[in-house]
């Protein structure tokens, strides 16, 4: 059983897509085992996305991610990391496959509705960034 971190980003929350994102994960048999709504600071956004600190989009991305409430959640299931990324679609909505969240709802490569961890190591860091052990509810 694998765990991953997903986030409904500020644009997804603004557009009323929290339920839509969750529905698409649950439809794939994935389980939500932790969930909250928070607003992170610019500094927290920089810490979360530290792997991208040298990239040209880092300043803009961290402004965007701290621009409003977000909904981080821990998703559990077989192959959860890959499944979540499949449901999300490619980073650039123009390149995302038809039927994916980003293709259907995203406005740009930055404002692309949803986040998903890209590896087990990243998932561990990202889950721990938002949740402690008591906040994660393993389900049968």
Question: What binding mask, one character per residue, do residues 34-73 give for ligand UDP by CB under 6 A, x or -?
Answer: ------------------x----x---x------------
* Alpha carbon distance 81, 65 (integer Å): 21
83 binds ligand UDP (CB under 6 A): no
- Residues classed as catalytic: 115
Binder of residue 24, out of ligand UDP, Mg ion, none (CB less than 5 to 8 A by kind): none
Residue-level length of the chain? 140
**Using CA atoms in the order 49, 27, 97, 111, what is the torsion angle rounded to 10 degrees?**
-40
Of 32, 118, 124, 125, the one binding Mg ion by CB under 5 A: 118
State the burial class of residue 31 (Cβ atoms within 10 Å of its Cβ: 0-12, 13-18, 19+). middle
Of 6, 66, 100, 112, the one binding ligand UDP by CB under 6 A: 112
Give the footprint of Mg ion on this chain (CB under 5 A).
Answer: 118
């Amino acid at each position: 059983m694998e765990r991953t971190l997903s986030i409904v980003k500020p644009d997804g929350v603004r557009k009323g897509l929290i339920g839509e994102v969750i529905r698409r994960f649950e439809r794939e048999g994935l389980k939500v085992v932790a969930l909250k709504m928070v607003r992170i600071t610019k500094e927290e956004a920089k810490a979360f996305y530290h792997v991208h600190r040298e990239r040209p989009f880092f300043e803009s991305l961290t402004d965007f991610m701290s621009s409003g409430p977000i909904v981080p959640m821990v998703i559990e299931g077989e192959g959860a990391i890959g499944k979540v990324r499949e449901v999300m679609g490619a980073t650039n909505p123009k390149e995302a496959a038809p039927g994916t969240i980003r293709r259907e709802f995203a406005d740009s490569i930055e404002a692309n509705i949803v986040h998903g961890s890209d590896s087990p190591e990243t998932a561990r860091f990202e889950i721990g960034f938002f949740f402690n052990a008591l906040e994660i509810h393993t389900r049968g």
